[in-house]
A and B are shown apart, each in its own frame.
Chain A
């Protein structure tokens, strides 16, 4: 079971992050549904290069209505799915 909290709005944000990863990586609904907090992203997914990461950030901004500053982006953010969702939630709540 996912450790990610599933309270209303947060759940919607997690869904959007999953959909963005699905669209960038060309994964199926079932594959991204299997992502949990510890699913490794950068490093574990070779197709997630700097171009793909750039597209991912812009799509997250667009779909979540947030603005991601240059200095907020670091390796840790893409370490695993949990970090990315936490970041998206914090930005959406700000």
Chain B
């Protein structure tokens, strides 16, 4: 079902799957281009969760997906405020699940139990986007550097890989790290050498040059989430 929530004078969309009553899982997508590459995965995961009898919310963040708000009005803190505005009419939310940069927002509703797949620091997302800018500048015969671009971006904002980022977004994103929480379940892929509480069968689709879907991965994520939520 496509639900709506009101934030900052605008209607934002939110996909709601699963039973109508009872608490829901809030699903937070990765940020920027990575969100587009895993949209299919997120929706299929929400559907698979409904099959497990679990309700979920997959909101559009202001400036992203179907949102009519220009991205240059968004920031990490604004997105967190939007999540609060979303959970109020469409919740209650009992758990939060995120992929990648979604983890930078998952403390918005307080210290709820949180599930994270391959969380990432904001600075790392920024670094990748700055690299695309440096590459396109180079093709245009302009020598730019990360330091110089960041210096001007902090006061003027910047357009990186088609994303118009405000000075506020730049500063918040650069400093953002996944927050500590009392109950965080960390999920990674089977071949990831880093420590994790859960192992997911799949691949980092958010990295793909050509977007792809992995139906088995959606099932794998949903199964782990369902088991975790049922304790």
Q: Which A residues fall within an 8 A CB radius of B?
A: 19, 22-26, 47-55, 57-59, 61-62, 70-71, 73
Contacts and interface: CB of A to CB of B under 8 A. Distances in A.
Contacts of A58: 124, 127-128, 131
Given A19-B191, A26-B212, A54 B131 contact: yes
Contacts of B33: 51
Contacts of B135: 50, 53-54, 73
A52 B129 contact: no
Contacts of A19: 191
- Mostly, the A contact residues are helix
A26 B209 CA distance: 8
Contact of B132 (A51, A61, A62, A71): A51
B68 interface: no
A92 to B, nearest CB: 14
Interface in B181-231: 191, 203-204, 207-210, 212
Contact of B145 (A53, A61, A70): A70
Interface of B: 33, 124, 127-129, 131-132, 134-136, 139, 145-146, 161, 191, 203-204, 207-210, 212
B208 to A, nearest CB: 5
B209 A24 contact: yes
Contact of A23 (B129, B136, B146, B204): B204
Nearest to A53: B135
| Max chain A C-beta neighbours (<10 A), residue from B33, B127, B207 | B207
12 contacts: A24-B207, A24-B208, A25-B208, A47-B209, A47-B210, A49-B209, A50-B135, A51-B33, A54-B131, A55-B209, A61-B127, A70-B146
A58 to B, nearest CB: 4
Nearest to B145: A70
Nearest to A57: B131
A51 B161 contact: yes
A49 to B, nearest CB: 7
Nearest to A45: B209
Given A26-B212, A50-B131, 18 more contacts: A19-B191, A26-B210, A47-B209, A48-B209, A49-B209, A50-B132, A50-B135, A50-B139, A51-B33, A52-B209, A53-B131, A54-B128, A57-B128, A58-B128, A70-B145, A70-B146, A71-B145, A73-B134
A71 B134 CA distance: 10
B129 A54 contact: yes
Contacts of A48: 209
